[in-house]
Amino acid sequence: MKPIQKNIRNSMEQINEEGVYPRMFYSGKDSAAQRLDNYSEAIYLNVAYASNQKNVLNLAMGDYRASFKGMNPLEALNQLILSDGNEKVSYRDYARHWMGSEVFIRPLLMFFTLPQIRLIYQAVFIILIFCTCRISEKTFGKKIGFSLLMAYCR
């Protein structure tokens, strides 16, 4: 089994536990502001998992994912992992969503599981917020830099 497939398999326990749209933090009864999008993440992981099973030239032309009738992307990814080449899987391209972030996700999946990648993205985001506030403070003054920092805090 390739490292990408292994890390996707290891990620599935947490993703299945979370469900399709889990809340990260308590943010009110109906707030969607702080929810994870496991629906889209399952599509990304499906493309990354399926890419190891398709022709490389075909992959250059489209982002192929395993498709199972009547299943949401999370269920389809689980079925793809369970089938592991034992059952006939139909692949189709997913043209309505640009998979540009696959350039970052696939190399990270070589070494990390999805929960670990989320932590890396979170750390990078916090560093970028700090740098933006610091540059704004130097350029426009302390009031603007502090105001920008407070805008990120809720």
pLDDT along the chain (154 residues), means of 10: 88 89 66 75 86 60 76 89 75 68 85 94 93 93 89 78
Range of the domain at 154: 113-154
State how far the alpha carbon of 6 is from the alpha carbons of 18, 48, 101, 104, 106, in Å: 20, 11, 20, 17, 12
Quick one: 154 and 98 in the same domain? no
Within its chain, how far is the Cα of 53 from the centroid? 20
According to the model, what pLDDT value does residue 1 have? Answer: 64
According to the model, what pLDDT value does residue 2 have? Answer: 85
According to the model, what pLDDT value does residue 39 have? Answer: 87
Quick one: 27 and 43 in the same domain? yes
Quick one: 21 and 80 in the same domain? yes
Quick one: 119 and 104 in the same domain? no
According to the model, what pLDDT value does residue 54 have? Answer: 56
CB atoms within 10 A of CB 23: 15
Quick one: 118 and 105 in the same domain? no
Q: In the chain, how many domains are there?
A: 2
Quick one: 18 and 43 in the same domain? yes
Quick one: 107 and 123 in the same domain? no
Instruction: Specify burial of residue 111 (Cβ count, 10 A radius: 0-12, 13-18, 19+).
Output: exposed
State how far the alpha carbon of 82 is from the alpha carbons of 20, 48, 126, 128, in Å: 19, 16, 36, 39
- pTM of the predicted model as reported, rounded to 2 decimal places: 0.78
Quick one: 122 and 104 in the same domain? no
Token output for 122? 């979170």
Quick one: 95 and 122 in the same domain? no
Beta strands in 30-114 (DSSP E): 64-67, 90-93
